[in-house]
């Protein structure tokens, strides 16, 4: 059976090579930050830095956004970050939201899982969007910030001299080679990171043997978007198949190779087409379909031990490789970029000491290890690494219909926001006195509210109130803040610390507040009586919280963060 391939329903714009003004082969300007790699992570880092007013050069080796089937799932946490970066509209317009999935064993449905989706959420728990679109929307936002973000296409880094006070990069382009000096380098150059290689750094962890074939197809189908997993399906006995719907009629099919199957043979179209055909037949899909792309995937669970090497900061796949199962790859990279951007901006602007960047490594290495432990569990189920995992999986799948307690073992453990529980930036504060709400190190819990702007109210969400600053979230009764808080605000501004007091009110009519608890759920959710205070980082993680605002304790927490 042979079906003609069709192209993706997306045309990537091609960009010419660009060279900066040179003096003796060297970029005339020395740059505070150079981001190596124009992928989702590189763009998020660049947009984050720009939101703090820091100029960035992005070096991208290719001449366009990516091609092929790569990241496809963007989590709620990532959407929250991208919203803060001002790039979320396209994601929400084009992405396909989904809230759960089904797993089947042979003919039986053995799990129907749902992710958190209640009336408090601004964003769906997950959307499906192809990586070329993810990159395009971020690139569009970067082009809007061309005052601070310069993207240089067809700029391939071929050497690095990493010093204590900066780095010199050698860049090759079709228009000639040059060198560029940077105070800081963000290495977002992907799974095969040249910078990681050049600095002699090694990823550590586990590589799995089980391989998956990844096929993108175009298919007419009204089936809703959800994660579908078929274990030992009648159409492909002994295999495991995953199916995801993407925008514009693209469907992603992943299936596991059988033991002993030759990967080179397996990805030949004549071997792929019958498998897809029989899968679609089993699913009852009768629409016309065409293949678009075929690739192969092998799970890795690897990370660097440290993401900071002198003035080079690793992020995304360059720093860690996570298994595909649980969709943590791009999402954890976007979280890396969000964590790094404000810290690097604070250091570049001289507001914080360089130690703040060590907390980037500490927090994100810990996050990677947590992601790896979930990803490893998912992989051990989706691609059993031994006869024992295979046998036990068969037992779980066979019993799960009758024994609901076993179904959690089938759950794919989708990516969710990670808490920096042991961060050096956390202030223990009055943690023990709160019975609910996000603890220090956690991200803010979402809640709808009425935003108050210039005396007018409009519907919004709590996270809409978080800007690229340290936010003092004050839970007031009627919008009035203590004089001590106004003094702290003035003192922080005088020191040049990006800081904002955001006042919430428990009742309507508080025109001095930024938002009021129109649903009556917010104060309870945060266990906040009037007077309560949350100190929040620019990335939305809680630094500390107090039953009542205490200027000295809050100042100490901020000082600790800046000098960390």
Partner 1 sequence: MTSAPTMTETELDAAYTHLCKTMTELGEARAPLFLARFALLAMVRIGDAALVQKLTDAAAADISS
Give the Å distances, CA to CA, from 29 to 21, 170, 182, 195, 261.
Answer: 8, 14, 9, 22, 54
Nearer to partner 1 by C-beta: 380 or 446? 380
What's the angle, vertex CA 174, arms to CA 172 and CA 176, rounded to 5?
Answer: 60
Q: Establish if 386 lies at the interface with partner 1 (CB under 8 A).
A: yes
Task: Tell me the HSE value of 59 on the side-chain side, using a 13 A CA sphere.
Answer: 30
| Stretch touching partner 1 by CB under 8 A, among 146-154, 218-226, 403-411, 448-456 | 403-411
271 three-class SS: helix
Strands 250-256 and 240-245: antiparallel
Q: Establish if 148 lies at the interface with partner 1 (CB under 8 A).
A: no
Give the Å distances, CA to CA, from 544 to 14, 485, 487, 534, 560.
Answer: 47, 15, 19, 6, 12
Shortest Å distance, C-beta 432 to partner 1: 23
Shortest Å distance, C-beta 380 to partner 1: 7
Q: Establish if 370 lies at the interface with partner 1 (CB under 8 A).
A: no
Q: Establish if 205 lies at the interface with partner 1 (CB under 8 A).
A: no
Site for partner 1 in 91-130 (CB under 8 A): 106
Shortest Å distance, C-beta 373 to partner 1: 10
Q: Establish if 409 lies at the interface with partner 1 (CB under 8 A).
A: yes
Residue 474 CA, distance from chain mean position = 28
Q: Dihedrals φ, ψ of 122, to 5°?
A: -85, -40
Shortest Å distance, C-beta 372 to partner 1: 14
Shortest Å distance, C-beta 386 to partner 1: 4
Site size for partner 1 (CB under 8 A): 19
Among 24, 118, 164, 402, binds partner 1 (CB under 8 A): 402
| Stretch touching partner 1 by CB under 8 A, among 180-188, 377-385, 432-440, 472-480 | 377-385
Closest listed residue to residue 538, CA positions, set 48, 87, 45: 48
Q: Establish if 269 lies at the interface with partner 1 (CB under 8 A).
A: no
Do 354 and 312 contact (CB within 8 A), yes or no? Answer: no
Q: Establish if 377 lies at the interface with partner 1 (CB under 8 A).
A: yes
Shortest Å distance, C-beta 408 to partner 1: 4
Shortest Å distance, C-beta 387 to partner 1: 5
Among 1, 116, 296, 391, binds partner 1 (CB under 8 A): 391
Q: Establish if 388 lies at the interface with partner 1 (CB under 8 A).
A: yes
Nearer to partner 1 by C-beta: 116 or 388? 388
Q: Dihedrals φ, ψ of 268, to 5°?
A: -70, 135
| Stretch touching partner 1 by CB under 8 A, among 147-155, 196-204, 238-246, 398-406 | 398-406
Among 1, 116, 159, 403, binds partner 1 (CB under 8 A): 403
Q: Dihedrals φ, ψ of 77, to 5°?
A: -60, -40
- Give the DSSP H/E element, type plus range, for residue 561: helix 551-563
Q: Establish if 260 lies at the interface with partner 1 (CB under 8 A).
A: no
Q: Establish if 22 lies at the interface with partner 1 (CB under 8 A).
A: no
Shortest Å distance, C-beta 392 to partner 1: 5
Give the Å distances, CA to CA, from 85 to 82, 137, 217, 386, 464.
Answer: 5, 11, 32, 43, 11
Enumerate the H helices of 426-536 as residue ranges: 483-494, 522-525
Among 22, 366, 392, 480, binds partner 1 (CB under 8 A): 392
Q: Establish if 387 lies at the interface with partner 1 (CB under 8 A).
A: yes
Among 405, 483, 520, 552, binds partner 1 (CB under 8 A): 405
Closest listed residue to residue 517, CA positions, set 471, 438, 437, 448: 448
Helices (H) and strands (E) in the chain, counts: 13, 28
Shortest Å distance, C-beta 112 to partner 1: 16
Cα(391)–Cα(262) distance, integer angstroms:
23
Cα(54)–Cα(419) distance, integer angstroms:
27
Give the Å distances, CA to CA, from 428 to 51, 65, 321, 365.
Answer: 29, 43, 32, 21
What's the angle, vertex CA 380, arms to CA 377 and CA 381, rounded to 5?
Answer: 90
| Stretch touching partner 1 by CB under 8 A, among 43-51, 188-196, 405-413, 419-427 | 405-413
Q: Establish if 380 lies at the interface with partner 1 (CB under 8 A).
A: yes
Among 102, 370, 389, 553, binds partner 1 (CB under 8 A): 389
| Stretch touching partner 1 by CB under 8 A, among 60-68, 363-371, 390-398, 422-430 | 390-398
- Extract the runs of DSSP E, i.e. beta strands, from 246-375: 250-256, 289-303, 308-309, 312-314, 320-321
Nearer to partner 1 by C-beta: 386 or 563? 386
Q: Which residues bind partner 1 (CB under 8 A)?
A: 106, 377, 380, 385-389, 391-392, 396, 398-399, 402-403, 405-406, 408-409
């Amino acid at each position: 059976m042979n079906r003609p391939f069709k192209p993706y329903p997306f045309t990537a714009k091609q960009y010419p090579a660009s060279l900066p003004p040179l003096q003796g082969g060297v970029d005339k300007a020395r740059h505070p930050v150079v981001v190596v790699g124009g992928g989702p992570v590189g763009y998020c880092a660049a947009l984050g830095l720009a939101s703090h007013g820091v100029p960035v050069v992005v070096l991208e080796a290719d001449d366009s956004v990516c091609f092929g089937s790569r990241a496809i799932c963007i989590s709620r946490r990532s959407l929250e970050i991208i919203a803060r970066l001002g790039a979320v509209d396209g994601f929400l317009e084009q992405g396909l939201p989904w809230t759960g999935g089904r797993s089947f064993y042979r003919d039986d449905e053995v799990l129907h899982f749902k992710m958190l989706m209640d009336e408090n959420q601004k964003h769906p728990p997950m959307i499906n969007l192809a990586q070329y679109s993810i990159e395009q929307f971020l690139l569009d936002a970067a082009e809007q910030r061309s005052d601070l973000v310069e993207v240089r296409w067809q700029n391939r880094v071929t050497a690095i001299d990493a010093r204590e006070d900066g780095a010199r990069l050698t860049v090759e382009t079709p228009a000639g080679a040059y060198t560029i000096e940077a105070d800081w380098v963000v290495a977002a150059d992907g799974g095969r990171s040249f910078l990681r290689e050049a600095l002699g750094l090694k990823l550590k962890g586990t590589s799995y043997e089980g391989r998956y074939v990844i096929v993108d197809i175009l298919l007419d189908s009204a089936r809703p978007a959800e994660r579908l997993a078929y274990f030992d399906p009648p159409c492909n006995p002994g295999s495991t198949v995953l199916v995801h719907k993407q925008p514009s009629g693209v469907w992603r099919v992943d299936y596991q190779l059988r033991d002993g199957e030759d990967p080179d043979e397996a990805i030949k179209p004549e071997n792929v087409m019958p498998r897809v055909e029989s899968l679609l037949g089993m699913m009852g899909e009768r629409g016309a379909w065409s293949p678009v792309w075929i690739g192969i995937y092998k799970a890795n669970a690897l990370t660097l031990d440290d993401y900071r090497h002198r003035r080079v900061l690793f992020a995304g796949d360059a720093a860690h490789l996570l298994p595909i199962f649980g969709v943590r790859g791009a999402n954890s990279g976007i979280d890396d970029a969000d964590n790094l951007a404000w810290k690097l901006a604070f250091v570049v602007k001289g507001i914080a000491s360089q130690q703040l960047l060590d907390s980037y490594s500490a927090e994100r290495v810990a996050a990677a290890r947590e992601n790896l432990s979930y990803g490893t569990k998912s992989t051990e189920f989706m691609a059993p690494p031994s006869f024992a995992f295979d046998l036990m999986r068969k037992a779980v799948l066979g019993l799960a219909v009758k024994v609901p307690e076993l179904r959690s073992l089938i759950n794919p453990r989708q990516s969710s926001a990670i808490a920096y529980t042991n961060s050096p930036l956390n202030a223990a504060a009055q943690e023990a006195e709160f019975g609910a709400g996000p603890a220090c190190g956690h991200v803010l819990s979402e809640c709808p509210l009425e935003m108050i702007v210039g005396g007018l109210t409009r519907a919004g969400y709590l996270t809409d109130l978080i800007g690229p600053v340290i936010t003092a979230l004050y839970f007031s009764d009627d919008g009035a803040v203590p004089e001590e808080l106004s003094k702290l605000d003035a003192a922080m501004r005088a020191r040049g610390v990006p800081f904002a007091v955001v006042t919430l009110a428990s009742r309507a009519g508080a025109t001095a507040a930024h938002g009021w608890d129109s649903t009556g759920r917010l104060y309870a959710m945060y266990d906040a009586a009037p007077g309560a205070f949350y100190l929040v980082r620019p990335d939305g993680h809680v630094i500390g919280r107090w039953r009542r605002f205490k200027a000295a304790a809050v100042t100490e927490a901020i000082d600790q963060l800046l000098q960390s």
